[in-house]
Amino acid sequence: MAKNTDTNYAELDEKALNEKLVKAQETLVTTKQSHRSGELTNPRVLNATRKDIARIKTALKQLKLKESE
- The domain segmentation of the chain, as residue ranges, is 12-68
With bands split at pLDDT 50, 70 and 90, how would you rate the model's confidence at 1? very low
Assess whether pLDDT exceeds 60 at residue 2.
no
Quick one: 5 exposed, middle or buried, by C-beta within 10 A (0-12, 13-18, 19+)? exposed
Task: Report CA torsion sign: 20, 50, 48, 1.
Answer: positive
DSSP helix/strand/coil, 42: coil
pTM of the model: 0.85
Convert the pLDDT of each residue in 11-60 to its tens digit: 899 999 999 999 999 999 999 999 999 999 999 999 999 999 999 999 99
